[in-house]
Amino acid sequence: MRAALLTICALALAGCSNEGKLMTLASDDGPEEFAIVPTRPLELPPDLAQLPAPTPGGANITDPHPEADAVAALGGNPGQLAAQGVGAGDGALLAHAARAGVTPGIRQVTAAEDAQYRARHGRRLLEIVARTNVYYRAYRPQTLDSWAELERWRRTGVQTPSAPPR
């Protein structure tokens, strides 16, 4: 009787888990620390009589622009973020990548395929009860064995200078 009650309690607790998630990195009950972006320091304009009209809901010079800041930090031109289309230097690369055709809506197709894969390789009963991470187990068949691949390339005579020595 006691074992049956314990089993029922364990199954009831397992039903409260976050079903369908293969990899749980953090709980959803706290603040999102990556959503906090520091603002720039306030600056006093040179002429207070020449201030622009306020724009409710518009941009402010102290608002953070993380993408533009990252591009500038890496030596790029943040002004190119607003440009539409492909730059002149990337046209040949894009043409070569699309030479065999392009699947429209590929992101939606792969998202649906991954959802089906995760449904088939999801968490098992004891993994739900123990709240273990099953991400690596589920995707193990799709993982590249980097050491075996390194040896395969070395056997063909290809130099691998960035790899560790034998």
Q: Count structural domains, the chain.
A: 1
Domain extent for 150:
108-157
Q: Is residue 122 part of a domain?
A: yes
pTM of the model: 0.42
Q: Is 64 left (phi over 0), alpha (psi -120 to 50) or beta?
A: beta
Token output for 20: 């369908």
Q: Is residue 115 part of a domain?
A: yes
Q: Is residue 166 part of a domain?
A: no
Give whole-number Cα distances, 74 to 68, 71, 77, 140, in Å: 10, 5, 9, 34
Q: Is residue 99 part of a domain?
A: no
Q: Are 24 and 123 in contact (CB under 8 A)?
A: no
* pLDDT on residue 58: 79
Q: Distance between CA 49 and CA 130 in Å, rounded?
A: 65
Q: Is residue 118 part of a domain?
A: yes
Q: Are 109 and 129 in contact (CB under 8 A)?
A: no
Token output for 17: 């888990």
Which residue bears the tokens 């075996």?
A: 148
Q: Is residue 116 part of a domain?
A: yes
How many CA atoms within 13 Å lie on the side-chain side of 158? 10
**pLDDT 10s digit of each residue in the chain, 166 long?**
777 777 776 666 555 555 555 565 555 667 777 777 777 788 888 888 888 788 887 777 777 888 888 888 888 888 888 777 777 778 888 889 989 998 889 999 999 998 888 888 777 777 778 777 777 888 888 899 989 999 999 999 998 888 777 6
Whole-angstrom distance between the N-terminal and C-terminal Cα of the chain? 60
